[in-house]
Amino acid sequence: MEISLKTITNLEQAVAKRRTFAIISHPDAGKTTITEQLLLLGGIIRSAGTVKGKKSGHYATSDWMAIEKQRGISVTSSVMQFDYHGKRVNILDTPGHEDFSEDTYRTLMAVDAAVMVIDSAKGIEPQTKKLFKVVKQRGIPIFTFMNKLDRDGREPLDLIAELEELLNIEGYAMNWPIGMGKGLKGLYDRAQHRIELYRPSDASKRFLPLNDQGQLAVDSDLTQDSIYQQTLDDVDLLSEAGNSFDLAKVQKGDQTPVFFGSALTNFGVETFLESFLKMAPAPGEHPINDDSAELAPNDDRFAGFVFKIQANMNPNHRDRIAFVRICSGEFDKGMDVTLARTKKQLRLNNATEFMSDERENVENAVAGDIVGLYDTGNFQIGDSIYTGKDPIQFAPLPQFTPELFVRVNAKNVMKQKSFHKGMQQLVQEGAIQLYKTYTTDDYILGAVGQLQFEVFQFRMKNEYNSEVVMTPIGSRIARWIKPAQLDEKMSSSRNLLVKDLKGEPLFLFENKFAERWFQDKYPDVTLTAKL
């Protein structure tokens, strides 16, 4: 195919502008608040409080369902796009909070960087740790925002040390708080060599320059302030004994640039965004076809993969939206692509628009962007689509080991057909994991978050007219065992023996103790976890 040089140059330029990332955090650390501030900066909302009305840390399943039914906010805000300082920013929402699901994890497979928001009074909390682990495995850059500086929090030095201790990642402080809580005065900006004042009486004097010695170059009340002197000592200490900035490490996810601030009072967020956009990578190459080749983002062939499927909750419209991360080329409405799994040709007529400041974005989506395709059952999570003659297959998305399990049955035994159909399709789509008890073939569902079960139940009823009964088994530790090592007598109520879709056996251990007891009893058996 002949391509004009002009097109290639445009594509290259367009791709180089893209910055695609997700924000990860523990509930209540301030992810929603900072997202809103970013959207305000990006000019796509006009006031805070518009994204998710109420506190999203308590984002109830019922709210989620209601929102889904209205076909509103949650689809459009799944991807938020805006232009800022010459960059096109794509923020991918990682939904779920306490009820997080595999969607959250898979979304992290579709980004080029992650931002970790930490409540500076609490430090690293369990969910941050879990999500961090997934991001770390991808080897993408991770940026940290220590939030809620307007409240008394932990010592900044402690917070940086904790990154290393709990997450095993080096922290490099880009800026340093001058006081906190009621005594918050500002930020000592090491990266930009200036002081950023907190709520200055004169807004035009928000930034004060530093001299070559790293001290205030202009007159200010701060100079007399003991808190400021303390900050100078801390910064000296950091320069002498702390990590030195290393962009190569940042790019691999071995060092995280740390920014302090307060999302609620919109302090430090703009500084963060500006630095972030300078350091975060543009879309890179993707390994394809069993790692035999690398696909460049400005390859003229369009290619991408489905990382999330969201059902339309309206029973009159069975369609769903398949979220595709574009990895190369350009998306055009109405283009023909090949679905790698089936080799079937598909015409991509209907794409949804996400929250954005420009309406024509879908039409000029390029590598790095996300398109939402209306789907009538063609797609599965992990599917690759491409244009051109040569097949393009991205690496399969990792499967996450479920932690919660239920037994599942059709409420009405006469309706087995719709039950099996719905079950088969939802499992195939990747909405939930299915297991069967080893000998009796009873259905067991596994999920990483409770929300997945509830959505499953809802969709079975709405889309397949099948009411299901779920009996909780609770949280279990799933461990696979080699079939050759298996003896059915090993199973007990504390370590339920089941098989996965491929027929491979695994135990669902009641707890760590049960697993240890098992390992002591059968020391030669190798147990393995997935991700």
Dihedral sign, CA of 398, 432, 112, 160?
negative
Q: Which member of 37, 101, 175, 262 binds ligand G4P (CB under 6 A)?
A: 262
Nearest approach, Cβ of residue 38 and ligand G4P (Å): 12
Rounded to whole angstroms, the Cα distance separating 185 from 231 reads 11
Report residue 280 CA to chain centroid gap: 15
Report residue 522 CA to chain centroid gap: 38
Residues 42 to 61 in contact with ligand G4P, rule: CB under 6 A: 55-57
Q: What are phi and psi of 73, to 5 degrees?
A: -45, -45
Q: At what angle do helices 416-429 and 450-464 cross, to 10 degrees?
A: 130
Contacts with 216 (C-beta within 8 Å, 6 or more apart), sequence order: 195, 208, 209, 210, 222, 223
**Per-residue string for binding with ligand G4P, 187-216, x by CB under 6 A?**
------------------------------
Nearest approach, Cβ of residue 211 and ligand G4P (Å): 31
User: Cβ(320)–Cβ(309) under 8 Å?
Assistant: yes
Q: Tokens 């993969």: give the residue.
A: 305
Nearest approach, Cβ of residue 32 and ligand G4P (Å): 3
Q: Which member of 22, 75, 263, 366 binds ligand G4P (CB under 6 A)?
A: 263
Q: Which member of 22, 44, 264, 508 binds ligand G4P (CB under 6 A)?
A: 264
Q: Which member of 11, 18, 28, 354 binds ligand G4P (CB under 6 A)?
A: 28
Q: Tokens 């147990």: give the residue.
A: 527
State the binding site for GTP. 25-32, 93-97, 147-150
User: Cβ(103)–Cβ(381) under 8 Å?
Assistant: no
Give 77 or 255: the residue with its C-beta nearer to ligand G4P. 77
Residues 135 to 164 in contact with ligand G4P, rule: CB under 6 A: 147-148, 150-151
Residue 91 interacts with ligand G4P (CB under 6 A)? no
Taking CA atoms, 87 is separated from 81, 112, 191, 298, in Å, by: 10, 14, 20, 17
Give 182 or 512: the residue with its C-beta nearer to ligand G4P. 182
Nearest approach, Cβ of residue 11 and ligand G4P (Å): 35
Nearest approach, Cβ of residue 56 and ligand G4P (Å): 5
Nearest approach, Cβ of residue 358 and ligand G4P (Å): 26
Residue 88 interacts with ligand G4P (CB under 6 A)? no
Q: Which long-range contacts (CB under 8 A, 24 or more apart) does 235-240 make?
A: 235/176, 235/188, 235/190, 237/157, 238/173, 238/176, 238/190
Which DSSP letter does residue 282 get? P
Token duo for residue 442: 């009873």
As a whole number of Å, the end-to-end CA separation of the chain is 41
Q: Which member of 31, 88, 106, 499 binds ligand G4P (CB under 6 A)?
A: 31
Nearest approach, Cβ of residue 187 and ligand G4P (Å): 13
Residue 406 interacts with ligand G4P (CB under 6 A)? no
The β-bridge relationship of strands 468-475 and 384-386 is unpaired
Nearest approach, Cβ of residue 325 and ligand G4P (Å): 23
Q: Which member of 30, 95, 96, 186 binds ligand G4P (CB under 6 A)?
A: 30
State the binding site. 25-32, 93-97, 147-150
Give 33 or 78: the residue with its C-beta nearer to ligand G4P. 33
- For every residue of 390-401, which 3-state class applies, written as one string? CCCCECCCCCCC
Give 125 or 300: the residue with its C-beta nearer to ligand G4P. 125
To 10 degrees, the CA torsion angle through 148, 141, 278, 156?
A: 30
Give 267 or 276: the residue with its C-beta nearer to ligand G4P. 267
Give 27 or 42: the residue with its C-beta nearer to ligand G4P. 27
Give 33 or 90: the residue with its C-beta nearer to ligand G4P. 33
Burial of 248 by CB count in 10 Å (0-12 exposed, 13-18 middle, 19+ buried)? exposed
Nearest approach, Cβ of residue 47 and ligand G4P (Å): 14
Q: Which member of 11, 27, 167, 299 binds ligand G4P (CB under 6 A)?
A: 27
- Binding residues (CB under 6 A) for ligand G4P: these are 25, 27-33, 55-57, 97, 147-148, 150-151, 262-264
